[in-house]
Structure 1
Amino acid sequence: MKLRAPLRAATRVEGPVEAARARVFSCPGPVARAFCLDLGVYLTMVTVPTLRTERLVLRPWRQDDLAPFATLNADPDVACWIGDGAPLARADSDALVERITEHWRERGFGLWAVEEQAGGAFVGFAGLAVPWFLPAVLPAVEVGWRLARGSWGNGYATEAGAAALAHGFQELGLAEVIATIFPENLRSIRVAQKLGLTYTGTRSLPATRRPIAIYRRTA
């Protein structure tokens, strides 16, 4: 899959949410449907901001993220905590990136690609999304993370999740954020607890009937 390319050179907009929300009219055609990618910066009605933490960069997705993201999604140790637990094929992984970028365009927030500041290695994603897969909790915004197994144990999920929560509460004005985690996923449960989310009950995924725990935090 090739991410949608820019039709012509465009102005780079990056940084605080005010700039991220600026209208960018660099792509020809109806701006409401325009979606451009210029060196990793999505140009549309909303431009993806870049967040920096002590060790990480949460940034827009790039074409060269597709291969390492596919490797991550094909890892059974990662996939077992997602959806039906099956590893994703390359085409499905690429399609997921497309859905993530569409979420940014439609909602004005979403999941960032996450890389290490030192060296720039892609480690996965973190951010905010509408949990459409679990209608019982809607309307809601979920904080989530998915990291390559080689980056586990470094506190990256907590660090990236904290940045995403701060953006959601302080910049987007969210009143509440949830997390959905399989009860057996003790690593992610610990991350949620470190981020201040509290267990509030268990639901079942409609697609698989698999139990999933709900954690919540208010602003």
Structure 2
Amino acid sequence: MTEIRTPRLLLRRWNDDDFVPLLEITSDPDVMRWIGEGSVLDPDETAETIERWEEEWDDEGFGVFAVELLGSGELIGAVGLTAADELPGTRQQVQIVWRLGRPFWGQGYASEAAQAALEFALQDRGLDRVVAINRIGNEQSANVIRKLGMEHEADTSDPVTGDSLTVYGIDLTEYAG
């Protein structure tokens, strides 16, 4: 079982107890406004999301982690790796993603967990490159991306929503750890 510990967090695979807290996160319009089409997820969609993330773990050897606070064991969100197939310029690449519950914003948890996931991708899983896709206007995620050392590569638009996006990337030779 893949687990990563940071000073404050545990990144781990998903279990049945994670459904309700993740549903609280995915049903929050403020959290979901920057993800996908910007709409909240219902219980079935949230369950399908966990199932898809777990299937990716089984198929690819990487995926999106459940993120919990070390002190309390409380689930605070999801951070990890997924196939970046939505955009033509990112097909066949791996994307780093995150979503945290609103009570956990502004405390450095996203950066801490994303740094651990990026290190996992480039050092443990042997990936040569990771991308991040950010919707223009989402400054909180842009800050996390900068902290990861990722560089601007392209501006594009979401083929479904038409929203303006920025693609960032980092490869193993650029990664400072």
TM-score normalised by length of structure 2: 0.94
Match among 38, 54, 57 for residue 7 of structure 2: 54
Q: Give 2:170's aligned residue.
A: 217
Aligned residue for 1:179, secondary structure, equals strand
Match among 54, 60, 65 for residue 101 of structure 1: 54
Does the aligned pair in 1 maintain the 2:27–2:41 contact within 8 Å?
A: yes
CA RMSD between the two structures: 0.9
Following the alignment from structure 1 to structure 2, what is the Cα–Cα distance between the partners of residues 196 and 147?
21
Following the alignment from structure 1 to structure 2, what is the Cα–Cα distance between the partners of residues 134 and 70?
27
Following the alignment from structure 1 to structure 2, what is the Cα–Cα distance between the partners of residues 155 and 79?
19
Count of residue pairs the alignment pairs up:
172
Following the alignment from structure 2 to structure 1, what is the Cα–Cα distance between the partners of residues 59 and 164?
29
The CA deviation at 1:136 is 2.7
Within the alignment, does 1:139 sit opposite 2:87 as a pair?
no
Following the alignment from structure 1 to structure 2, what is the Cα–Cα distance between the partners of residues 183 and 100?
25
Q: Give 1:82's aligned residue.
A: 35
% of aligned pairs identical?
38
The CA deviation at 1:132 is 2.1
Runs of at least 4 residues of structure 1 off by over 4 A?
none
Is there any run of 5+ residues in structure 2 with no aligned partner, and where? 173-177
Q: Cα deviation per residue 1:62-104 (whole Å; 9 max; x = unaligned)? A: 1010011011011010110011111111111111111111111
The CA deviation at 1:135 is 3.2
Following the alignment from structure 1 to structure 2, what is the Cα–Cα distance between the partners of residues 206 and 184?
18
> Which letter maps to 1:121?
E
Following the alignment from structure 1 to structure 2, what is the Cα–Cα distance between the partners of residues 50 and 73?
23
Q: Give 2:115's aligned residue.
A: 162
Q: Cα deviation per residue 1:103-153 (whole Å; 9 max; x = unaligned)? A: 111111000000000111100111111112223311211111110000001
Structure number with the higher strand fraction is 2
Is there any run of 5+ residues in structure 1 with no aligned partner, and where? 1-13, 15-48
The CA deviation at 1:206 is 1.6
> Which letter maps to 1:68?
P
Q: Map 1:26-45 onto structure 2 (within 5 A).
A: none
Tell me: higher relative CO, structure 1 or 2? Use CA pairs within 8 A at least 6 residues apart: 2
